[in-house]
Structure 1
């Protein structure tokens, strides 16, 4: 479970941390200067976000809403990759203030990672470990990851497919889907729940194919 959280967060964090590191550099810092503090702060904050979302999943309709958001995130993954950009150096600010800015920026961009993680893990210790490992890896090898992100964009396309799979399975777990699923089962005459994984897998494959089609079109 930790490995799954680690891998999905690792991939989804690549574009998020492009933003975070750009913010850090804007104020005259390098990520390695605040490496430990950034990892600790973001791990704790994201684990709290995951815990809050897991509590909210008991509310009817929340999983459907979260699933729709994840599907949008998945499509964004397969359709575009944002390259890193150079930030213009400006005078430094205190490190504590810099960390607060990082937390604020991360809160706005990490919801994809949080929603993905909340959909695959209910254990907060595993969640914290997976998030910490992914943040450590991405920050430690940030220059390398930012360089290969454009060159190996199929990784992000596949990640989009995995996210779509999580989204579909999450939607069908929502209490509000119980009646529609029962109705469809009566109409079609078979147990739809037995086909949910196949539906999710087909959606993932379909989205991956779209991603590669967009990639091929952009190269043309």
Structure 2
């Protein structure tokens, strides 16, 4: 049996490198989104349960819709990320969601009944995901520009994180303190997002010069303070009603 010539081996080498590069891009997208979605799943699941739905019943719709929309975001992220006022708008929405989650409480031992239509629920999921996934979308855009690789990587990561959540839903999804933590996470993301908006740049630079401080450090502290305030607010609210544990 004739061995492969040096020409044939040289031709195979680039093909192997290309395949390896493709797999590496998909793996990078997968793990990057998986890590970033650890807190996002908490936020999304809390919003879903807030309106009486269960993550398990919406699993297929959520995975497919988030995969498609996030892939679209990556394709146009450079334009979306620079739109003046976009982060401010989404930040305000997230702050509203955070306060609402901290204020409201789930009723125990009561089977949740959907309070809105399936269509409205999916719109809320997409709007919430858009608000919290911009950073991971921007990083994904730096990893690859191929829509197919991006789609596969995001699909696998979203499916994995939701499967893990559903598997531990009795622990993660049915306790009131999870809702409190989620409200703090949402508020923290909202403040940081507002600060990164192009419309916020000049006011922040003015304060930095006027007060002679490093504004980025203070923004992080302020975002953390807002998150802690909302968490404390939610804890007090639940302690008053004795529903925290």
TM-score (norm. length: structure 2): 0.64
Q: Which residue pairs with 1:7 in the alignment?
A: 38
Superposed counterparts of 1:1-220, under 5 Å: 1-18=32-49, 21=53, 31=57, 37-38=60-61, 40-48=63-71, 50-51=73-74, 54=77, 55-82=79-106, 84-86=111-113, 105-122=121-138, 123=140, 125=150, 127-139=154-166, 144=170, 149-150=173-174, 152-219=175-242
1:49, distance to aligned residue in structure 2 (A): 6.5
What do residues 58-94 of structure 1 show as CA deviations (whole Å, max 9, x unaligned)? 111111111111111222222224465257xxxxxxx
CA contact 2:90–2:131 (8 Å) conserved in 1: yes
Greater mean alpha carbon deviation, residues 111-120 or residues 40-49: 40-49
1:216 Cα deviation (Å)? 1.1
Runs of at least 5 residues in structure 1 that lack an aligned partner in the other structure: 25-29, 88-100
How far residue 193 of structure 1 moved from its aligned partner, in angstroms, is 2.2
| SS at 2:193 equivalent | helix
Whether the 8 Å CA contact 1:157–1:211 is kept in 2: the answer is yes
Q: 1:50 to 1:103 in 2, by over 3 A?
A: farther
Shift of 1:110: 3.5
Runs (5+) with no aligned partner, structure 2? 1-31, 142-149
Structure 1 residue ranges, 4+ long, deviating more than 6 angstroms after superposition = none
Q: Report the CA distance between 1:10 and its aligned residue.
A: 2.1
8 Å Cα contact 1:20-1:105 kept in structure 2: no
Q: Which has the larger radius of gyration?
A: 2
Q: Cα deviation per residue 1:162-209 (whole Å; 9 max; x = unaligned)?
A: 221111111111111121112212321222123221111111111111
Distance (Å, rounded) in 1 between the aligned partners of 2:101 and 2:72: 21
TM-align CA RMSD: 3.4
The 8 Å contact of residues 63 and 159 in structure 2, kept in 1 or not, is answered as yes
Q: TM-score, normalised by structure 1?
A: 0.70
Residues 83-135 of structure 1: per-residue CA shift (max 9 Å, x gap): 65257xxxxxxxxxxxxx96664123342233112245421646544422233
Decide whether the 8 Å contact of 1:50 with 1:117 is kept in 2.
no
Q: How many equivalent residue pairs?
A: 194
Q: Is the alpha carbon distance of 1:50 and 1:131 closer, same or farther for their aligned partners in structure 2, counting shifts above 3 Å?
A: farther
| 1:70 alignment partner, SS class | helix
Contact 2:70 2:137 in 1 (8 A): no
Change in 2 beyond 3 A, CA 1:159/1:52 = farther
